[in-house]
Chain A
Amino acid sequence: MEKAKISAIQLFALMFIFDLGTALIVSYGVTAGKDDWLSILLGMSGGIILFFIYYPVYRKYPDLPLTSYIGEIFGKYIGWIFGFLYCISFLYIAARNVRDFGDLLSSSTLTETPLLVIHTSFVLVICYVLYQGIEVLGRTAEIFLFVLILLGIIGNFFVLVSGDITFQQIRPPLEHGWGPIITTAFPTITTFPFGEMFAFMMLMPYLNKTKLVKKTWLSALICSGLILSWTAFLNMTVLGLDVMERSTFPTLATIGKVSLFDFIERLDAIVVLTLLLTVFFKAAIFLYSAVIGIVDLFKLKNHQQIILPVGIILIFTSMTIASSFSEHLEEGFDASIKFVHIPFFIIIPFLMLVISFIRNYIKKRSNAK
């Protein structure tokens, strides 16, 4: 824990950008067919439910990061192990995000640059921001929130006026019934990206007004959910299901189709920049959560001394996480959801909620006696 405070708007910016990170660009939700946008909205409501699992636990310990009170809930030793596992999972997801970013850049724009170079330069910048502390990260997010909104407006505007939108592509709605929509929304979309917001349980104590947590969290979740759903909708109307299923980065393909007056073309930079910004914050938040978790668990003096070592682990992990991009994606939508997202962002938080309730109950009864 460093001594720092961030404001509600900064937290909102962090959360908002965090949710958009990678999900906005990578192909996701296509298993729901033409109704992926609906599936994302459902997933968002799943995210809201998850929040009400996290929130009561947070209310009990508003001044502590997750790793500190997890020991009080599960008992000292089991809690410590869980806390450590959380740090590792945060680091793992950060590595996945970095890899998403690196693969997009090397397959679309920087085709000849080695992946390691992209990763190293990216992670070093993240490390630098985190070295400066959470306050700096929050302020940066506040500024880049507006840049991001501007990019979004420009990108959307050009896609809308380009005339590439055909609503026939999303018709008929519910082509295969509700089945695929629900199975895509739960658990895949609920956990990625909305469940990943659990990482903010590490950052909550920094908020200067604890009362605003609920408002901030939910508004960020709903805003980002709506934007993700809208983007998926737009991609589907421009590309059609077939291309959506095949393309690795649908949003990039969508913006690539914009061609106005033979003059406004190749707007790929907008998408790449959006990804750069969002992934930067997402990876930074995960890395920071992991770092202060480690500081907390191992009782280190401050987080600055271990940022660089952990950053190097991050680079190493992101390089070795998969041998190919296909393997990386496969892992992301299968193993990572099953073994990281569901247990760490749904099951353990739920257990935490139940156990803390039981403990409370026992405490009250013993007090009453």
Chain B
Amino acid sequence: MKNKQIILLFLCLFIFLISGCWDSNELQKLCIVAGMAIDKGNDNTKNRFRITVQIANPPQVAGDSQGGKMQASRVTNFTETGSTISETLRKISNKAPGELLFPHLQVMVIGEDLAKEGIADIFDVIERDSQFRVLFPILISKGPHSAKDILEVTTTLEAIPSAKIVEALRTSERYWGAYKATRVDEVIKGLKEGSFPISGIQMKGDLKAGNSIKNVEKISPNTIIQLKGTAIFKDRKLKKWLDLNTARGVTWVMDEMKSTVINLDCGMKKDAIAANVNRSKTTTDVKIKNNKPVIYLTVHAEGEILENNCSLDLGKSINLDQLDEKLEEEIKIELLQAIKTAQKEKSDLFRFGEKINTTDKKLWKKIETAWENDIFPKTEIHVNVQAIIRRTGMITKSYR
């Protein structure tokens, strides 16, 4: 009996001992990092990076802004310089009120200057540290503004600028197709293998006006941030910016097109008809001819007419057939443009190398080292597009 009492006493004592963890932290004392911007530091050895973290301010984000007055900004940025990412982030603790918490990091913006010098040194810590996850997207800030500036623009509709960027990226990927979200793990894979694309982001308007709560008090804000351009990386460096149509061509080739809108000519009138492509599949085939790979791309696209600003009678299937051909032509031009640019830049953005490896691993072993610089630019690439317009919407003929 006495034994039992002693055991009970010990059990009660253990409650106090085992209930806490070493690394426990109160929620309100943590600084939740929503976004991160990495720019080139002012010095190549001492301060290689300039890092800005965006910390969400939960009461301001959650509180109803209608009734109360807005006192503080909904996010706070802190900037620090250093030579390694971890050192710089630790230095920020001199400024931030609590421990930085990274698992909720939504986006990372890399400055163009740094990207031009190489981004190889950024991702090791993200892969190594268990705090980071490798699933958030990376963007490149397209000049003249730095990545830090991008995160300093206040936004409406989405309280946290980083979240706004991510949402814009997602909707753009879904409905426009030109700018895809490149996740960290994809970037790391690309760094290892050679070339890859990352979407760009740009600030439009006045920097000072953007960095103020007044910016969002206006109906049309003075300063906004928008996705713009796709950066081609080769040898871990930014090589070239692709503009809209070429960027969309990259999405086509990589079979990542979800939906987009393409304008078609109608007789003499240019860009008179808008077609929505909502299903698309690109298959890549590699054939070996004379010990050289020849690549065949086939795009199967399906769509519908969204808008018709000319007198064409869409009720007649023969007219639709003509539009099909025009759509095929337009898509083909975009693909060829993207391929041409990639070949000119000697960057195999599309990972055709992997496909060659699956088709003929012996040939690939022979050409692997010379692939990107010598063979890829000269490789024959054939594009075949089959597009079908399935529907014309609620009407056939336009009112005109």
Q: Taking beta carbons and an 8 Å cutoff, which residues of A are in contact with B?
A: 107-114, 168, 171-172, 175, 240, 242-243, 246, 256-257, 259, 266
Q: Does B192 contact A (CB under 8 A)?
A: yes
**Is the CB–CB distance between B130 and A171 below 8 Å?**
no
Complex A-B: 27 CB contacts under 8 Å:
A107-B130, A108-B130, A109-B130, A110-B21, A110-B22, A110-B23, A112-B22, A112-B23, A113-B22, A114-B22, A168-B354, A168-B358, A172-B357, A172-B358, A175-B357, A175-B361, A240-B189, A242-B192, A243-B185, A243-B188, A243-B189, A256-B133, A256-B134, A257-B134, A257-B135, A257-B185, A266-B103
Q: How far is the CA of A257 from the CA of B189 in the complex (A)?
A: 14
What separation, in Å, do the CA atoms of A110 and B354 have in the docked complex?
A: 39
B360-376 Cβ-contact flags toward A at 8 Å (1 or 0): 01000000000000000
Residue of B nearest to A168 (CB): B354
Q: Which residues on the B side are within 8 Å of A109 (C-beta)?
A: 130
With both chains docked as a complex, state the minimum distance between the C-beta of A341 and any C-beta of chain B, in angstroms: 30
The closest CB in chain A to the CB of B23 belongs to A112
Interface residue range, chain B? 10 to 19
Contacts of B358 in A (CB 8 A): 168, 171-172
Contacts of A110 in B (CB 8 A): 21-23
Q: Knowing A242-B192, A259-B135, say if A113 contacts B21 (CB, 8 Å).
A: yes
Q: Are A113 and B23 in contact (CB under 8 A)?
A: yes
Centre residue among B134, B354, B357, B358 by max chain A CB count within 10 A: B358
- Complex alpha-carbon distance, A95 and B357, angstroms: 43
Complex: A60 Cα to B23 Cα, angstroms: 55
List B15-52 residues whose CB lies under 8 Å from chain A.
21-23
A108 to B133, CA, bound (A): 12
Further 8 A-B residue pairs, CB within 8 A, beyond A110-B21, A171-B357 = A111-B130, A112-B22, A240-B189, A243-B189, A256-B134, A257-B134, A257-B135, A266-B133
Residues in chain A near residue B130, CB distance under 8 A? 107-109, 111
User: In chain B between 259 and 294, which residues have their CB closer than 8 angstroms to a CB of chain A?
Assistant: none
- A257 to B185 alpha-carbon distance, docked (Å): 9
Task: Kindly state the separation between the CA atoms of A156 and B354 in the bound complex, as whole angstroms.
Answer: 27
Of all chain B residues, the one with the shortest Cβ separation from A258 is B135
B341 to chain A, nearest CB (A): 24
User: Which of A113, A172, A259 has the most B CB atoms < 10 Å from its CB?
Assistant: A172
| Closest Cβ neighbor of A171 among chain B residues | B358
Question: A112 CA to B99 CA in the complex, in Å?
Answer: 14
